[in-house]
Chain A
């Protein structure tokens, strides 16, 4: 589904990604771990199409399409979703309006019929309940005055509403208490299927206790320095990253 091939990217003059190669197939969950500054967030942002990064070498395809040539909104419509590490507030724009605008924009791009207000409301309310959120949140501004935990739940809610194919979740576990972590994990697991793939970007083992990855990769110094199964995450939890960075 996602093929990243020798990806090099820089911000201004600083090279951050120095040859990332990774292949993710439908049905798989991959976790990328690594120390601060290793390029984890850069990788997420480049894949989702954020401005300000220059790809100097290599590339990435999504379902055979040149992902990096697409506008961010086109990537979204094609099925790529980025769960933000720091979700953004949009005051005065309700979650309901935002979600409907997003879903219908994607549907329009894909040539599907747009949902009307009543159908959409029923559809979205069900998912709000799934995330154990108060339906009143639909009438609040997007992430406006949300706590850190609420913001992260809202990311997963958006994901459930938009039903993407590839989910890139950038430190979705940070700032969550244990109950919220469980709800968020359930949301992620609900999206797992043979047709979807997930890339979890995280510092810590604890999310992986709830969302079992098929593969774990260590990103250090802008490259994947080690790949393995779920055991690798536990080994990292014990030993830290130092032994790998040196390798």
Chain B
């Protein structure tokens, strides 16, 4: 009829494709001289990493135990993802910009090229400190390949008694705390990727909030993979003591490259009595191109331990990047009346595949958990929600509410739901809701017939779909997440 472009699944795909081609603005490479260990793993590599970081003996031993365990393990195959096997001998397990060798003492000593990289990514580290008081304050730790580049606002945090630094540094400055909590939530032999991480982890953030302290600002770590053929194996540990409170944000990007790069992180959270930890992620690793060439393999273990009564751990994630995502931020609800939450938006397009969800392990009495998962698949994207709710015999009066919704754009993508429940206490109450819908031609025409242009309409519909999750994010992050989705989907029509 009209001389207009028809809205068909075919041009939906075109639009998504076109959009995504221009979408990945973080795909640049920083030209810095790096010291990268030759590819391959061995006990020597583990020893080298540990020596390079001048680690104490106990940590080296721990790494070696993990390494020996890992050698006996096999890569998990149960996830609903399909990818070329990883050649673990072709990966370099450590890379650091040369300028970081003699660790800079402050941001003033950091290589300007590195600071420039973060500025390009929208994280101006130095300016951020100078602008303090003008813009909302967020303390940032940045990790470039295998090392932490610097952490802002340290002084102000120290006044509140908050420790926020790289984990390599914490090993030296707070060895007792690290020794006490490292591996206490995710043991070194927990799973294949966690074992690998425990053996070769390079850097990451360490956060400690002492008793009764409400952290005076948001804490944030920004992870960046730059070097070719390297894996990133960061390790984050957050400990919230009794009655303390912290909100932590994590962001990630990587250059656009043709080969797949491995990212196998471990995040451990410990919440003691009445403590609250809110952990938010906006993950935008390079997703690969439209034919599925390149992109990050994001194989991550994240787990929180609600160790004390009435403690609360809340995971919020917006996952738009990576070629393959394998990730299940989980909560062990050990303390009576503790609360676990998982809010997730995952977007897959092109050949991206995501198998993500959560585990809620109810151990204590009257423990409660909430799961809200929103999966969006476009192009040939594959999207799986995998979630476990386990109620142990002593978890009298446990409750769970699970909601998982999938939105399909076009007709080549897929959405799958794998809910598991194991209930060993009859007083448990579980609710599960699931829906799958398509961005319909109906919805688009409805918006357009009211005068709203097509691209705005798609972005509006998708944002509406994700609203429940976005409202859990800190304000600036919510805006960021909405923009990221709008950018990834502009022009996507179904």
Determine if B450 and A68 form an interchain contact, defined as CB atoms under 8 angstroms apart.
no
Q: Which of B450, B463, B468 contacts A158 (CB 8 A)?
A: B450
A-B pairs with beta carbons under 8 Å apart, 17 shown: A49-B4, A55-B2, A68-B1, A68-B2, A69-B2, A70-B4, A71-B2, A73-B448, A76-B450, A76-B451, A82-B449, A88-B442, A88-B446, A91-B465, A92-B463, A102-B451, A105-B451
Scoring A89, A106, A158 by chain B CB atoms within 10 A of each residue's CB, the highest score goes to: A89
Q: Does A50 contact B (CB under 8 A)?
A: yes
User: Size band of the A side of the interface?
Assistant: 35 or more
Determine if B441 and A51 form an interchain contact, defined as CB atoms under 8 angstroms apart.
yes
Determine if B443 and A73 form an interchain contact, defined as CB atoms under 8 angstroms apart.
no
A94, chain B: closest CB distance, angstroms: 8
B461, chain A: closest CB distance, angstroms: 6
Determine if B443 and A90 form an interchain contact, defined as CB atoms under 8 angstroms apart.
yes
Q: Does A54 contact B (CB under 8 A)?
A: yes
Chain B positions within 8 Å of A92 at CB level: 463-468
Scoring A50, A68, A76, A141 by chain B CB atoms within 10 A of each residue's CB, the highest score goes to: A50
Q: Does B453 contact A (CB under 8 A)?
A: yes
Report A81-97 residues with CB < 8 Å from chain B CB. Answer: 81-82, 84, 87-93, 97
- When each residue 1-19 of chain B gets 1 if its CB lies under 8 Å from chain A and 0 otherwise, what string results? 1111011100000000000
Determine if A141 and B464 form an interchain contact, defined as CB atoms under 8 angstroms apart.
yes
Determine if A162 and B451 form an interchain contact, defined as CB atoms under 8 angstroms apart.
yes
Interfacial residues, chain B to chain A (CB-CB below 8 A): 1-4, 6-8, 440-443, 445-454, 456, 460-461, 463-468
Chain A positions within 8 Å of B460 at CB level: 90, 93, 97-98, 101
Determine if A49 and B449 form an interchain contact, defined as CB atoms under 8 angstroms apart.
yes
Determine if B461 and A98 form an interchain contact, defined as CB atoms under 8 angstroms apart.
no
Q: How far is the CA of A103 from the CA of B451 in the complex (A)?
A: 7
Interfacial residues, chain A to chain B (CB-CB below 8 A): 9, 46, 48-55, 68-73, 75-77, 81-82, 84, 87-93, 97-98, 101-103, 105-106, 109, 141, 158, 162
The B contact surface, by secondary structure, is helix
Determine if B448 and A71 form an interchain contact, defined as CB atoms under 8 angstroms apart.
yes
Chain A positions within 8 Å of B466 at CB level: 92
Q: A51-B7, A69-B2 are in contact. Are A90 and B446 (CB under 8 A)?
A: yes
Chain B positions within 8 Å of A93 at CB level: 460-461, 463-464, 467
Q: How far is the CA of A75 from the CA of B2 in the complex (A)?
A: 11
Determine if B1 and A53 form an interchain contact, defined as CB atoms under 8 angstroms apart.
yes
Q: A53-B1, A92-B466, A101-B460 are in contact. Are A162 and B445 (CB under 8 A)?
A: no
Q: Which of B8, B454, B463, B465 contacts A73 (CB 8 A)?
A: B454
- Besides the contacts A73-B449, A76-B451, A93-B467, what 8 more A-B pairs have beta carbons closer than 8 Å? A9-B1, A55-B2, A68-B3, A72-B445, A73-B452, A90-B464, A102-B451, A162-B450
Determine the residue in chain A with the shortest Cβ distance to B440.
Answer: A88
Determine if B451 and A77 form an interchain contact, defined as CB atoms under 8 angstroms apart.
yes
Scoring A53, A73, A84 by chain B CB atoms within 10 A of each residue's CB, the highest score goes to: A73
Determine the residue in chain B with the shortest Cβ distance to A74.
Answer: B451
| The 5 A-B residue pairs with the shortest CB-CB distance in the complex, in nearest-first order | A92-B464, A93-B464, A76-B451, A106-B451, A102-B450
Chain A positions within 8 Å of B6 at CB level: 51
Q: How far is the CA of A91 from the CA of B452 in the complex (A)?
A: 16
Chain B positions within 8 Å of A105 at CB level: 450-453, 456
Q: How far is the CA of A211 from the CA of B120 in the complex (A)?
A: 61
B237, chain A: closest CB distance, angstroms: 35
Scoring A48, A77, A93 by chain B CB atoms within 10 A of each residue's CB, the highest score goes to: A93
Chain A positions within 8 Å of B8 at CB level: 51
Determine if B465 and A98 form an interchain contact, defined as CB atoms under 8 angstroms apart.
no
Q: How far is the CA of A125 from the CA of B2 in the complex (A)?
A: 36
B451, chain A: closest CB distance, angstroms: 4
A14, chain B: closest CB distance, angstroms: 14
Chain A positions within 8 Å of B443 at CB level: 88-90
Determine the residue in chain B with the shortest Cβ distance to A93.
Answer: B464
Q: How far is the CA of A122 from the CA of B482 in the complex (A)?
A: 27
Chain A positions within 8 Å of B440 at CB level: 88
B96, chain A: closest CB distance, angstroms: 44
